[in-house]
Copies of this chain bind each other. A is one copy, B any other.
Amino acid sequence: MSLDHAILGFLRERPMSGYDLKTMCFDGRAAHFWTADQAQVYRTLDRLESRALVRSRTERQRSRPDRKIYSITDAGTSELDRWLRETPPPPPLRDPFLIRLRFADSLPSEDLIGLLRERRGALQTRLEALRERAAGGAHTATTPDRAALLERLTLDAAMADTRATIDWLDDSIELIEAESEQARELPPGTQRRLFAPPTAAEGAKR
């Protein structure tokens, strides 16, 4: 259902072809909060048209394949506005990386830390890409344009999320390093232990 409304949203801004939606939107402006497969975009457009939420006209091009330009209908606009007011509960968090981490106690400490550092690197790269997009973005906080502000906020969300995860990884690496030090000092059997704060990271925020 999400993809349906994402497409309605983009088509309300301007009519577009499936190709445009895929390349400009789901591989571009929306890539940091929603992606979509090409096949899925076309099939969703079909379905939306059959429900009369969008309509299409074929645009003939010289020396190019025809384009099917979709535009939103009044019914589509109503449906979008109705959907915008819904407040479904946030979906449960699901992160495959946390599955890996949760069961990685069978790995040597070095490998485990390597795993976390690798992930950190990937997220750092992602964060830099997001920052570049934000810098080049339309709404550099001066346009009194609601849509541009909201687009900017979606980028902020992605950046906030990525940065928080990086910080968590840094804290986690430290904790694991401290714990593996400790294990070296106190070989199995010796069950005395050093003090460590409540896994740090968890200050008295909010």
Q: Which residue of chain B is the closest to A94 with respect to CB atoms?
A: B34
Query: What interface size band does chain A fall in?
Result: 35 or more
A75 CB-CB contact with B under 8 Å: no
Instruction: Report yes or no: B164 in contact with A160, Cβ–Cβ below 8 A.
Output: yes
A171-201 near B? 1/0 per residue, CB < 8 Å: 1100110010011001000010101111101
Instruction: Report yes or no: B123 in contact with A104, Cβ–Cβ below 8 A.
Output: no
Instruction: Report yes or no: A141 in contact with B105, Cβ–Cβ below 8 A.
Output: no
Give Cα A147 to B186, complex, Å: 17
A19 CB-CB contact with B under 8 Å: no
> Nearest-CB distance from A141 to chain B (Å)?
5
The 6 closest A-B pairs by CB, nearest first: A164-B164, A9-B103, A33-B98, A105-B146, A160-B168, A105-B147
Beyond the given A9-B99, A149-B199, please list 13 additional residue pairs across the A-B interface where CB-CB is below 8 A. A6-B102, A34-B96, A35-B92, A84-B100, A87-B119, A90-B97, A93-B158, A98-B158, A103-B150, A105-B150, A139-B199, A142-B193, A161-B168
